[in-house]
Structure formats: C-alpha cells, structure tokens
Copies of this chain bind each other. A is one copy, B any other.
Amino acid sequence: MTKLPWLNLTRTVRFGDTDAAGVMHFHQLLRWCHEAWEESLELYGIEAKAVFPGCRGQERWPDTALPVVHCSASFKKAVYGGDRLVVTLTPQQIDQGCFEVRSQFLLNNQNVAAGLIRHVAIHTETHQRCPLPDAISLWIEAAQIGQVREL
C-alpha cells in the first residue's frame, strides 16, 4: 500500500449516511469514492476547475470530460455512524483514454469495504473518446511511482 499522503485520506461516517438498519446505506460508499478522488486531486495540487465543469472563474469548461462508465462496491463488514475510516486510493490507467480508481476503506486496519470508479475521457464538444487530460495522467503516474518506491 502506498504511503503518499494524497492517496491516504480519512472519512468519518455521518449520521445521515446511515439507514434504519443502523449502518451505512450502501450507495453512500460510491459518493465517498468520488469525493475521495476529488480530495486526492486537490491535495496533489490539481485545481477542481482544471478537471470538472461548473467551477468558479472558469471561462469555459475543460476541453475533456471524464464521465463515469462503470462503478462497483463490495461490503465486507458493517460500517456505523461515527466510524473513522481510512480511505486508500489506487488509480490505474486502463488505456490512453480510460482510467479507474480503487478505494479501500479500512477501520482499525481491517478492510470493511472497497469501491471502484472507471472513467473515460471524451472531448467536451464532440463527445468523442480522447486521451486523458495531462493533469490526470500526472496524478496516476505519481501514484504509481509512489507505489514503486515502497518496494
């Protein structure tokens, strides 16, 4: 597991994330995965407006959009309100215009859940597939170098 700080986040489960069974409602985890990705980009130094449409001070949207084409999540242990989770991100480039981010959720060093989000890059105007934006490629590369260093 990498120890790069911008790939190792924390998240406290909030009361509104739970349901009447008394545990986290399942789809909240995928919201956390996306938010963890956004937080990681921010910590690494990529501004939201370089990647996401609809940001303050954007004269126009970024040339490339990154729609989600697939996501999944697995739940191993119940997660409760107040739980303080460690979230570890592992990005991987799939091809020139596709990448995915795995998120491991740990409580006291135990895996409790994992999620995955896969994005493709498309031209904002034409909606045609295109290469990943440089900022995202750099972030993925830096994550992999971080993993190599620990070997």
Contacts and interface: CB of A to CB of B under 8 A. Distances in A.
A26 B68 contact: yes
A47 interface: yes
A105 to B, nearest CB: 14
A89 to B, nearest CB: 15
B75 A69 contact: yes
B38 A30 contact: no
B27 A14 contact: no
A31 interface: yes
Nearest to A119: B26
A135 interface: no
Contact of A54 (B23, B35, B52): B23
A70 B75 contact: yes
B68 A80 contact: no
A129 interface: no
A12 interface: yes
B70 A83 contact: no
A144 interface: no
A6 to B, nearest CB: 14
A67 B112 CA distance: 14
A148 to B, nearest CB: 30
12 contacts: A14-B35, A16-B19, A18-B54, A20-B52, A20-B53, A23-B54, A26-B34, A27-B27, A30-B71, A52-B81, A52-B82, A71-B73
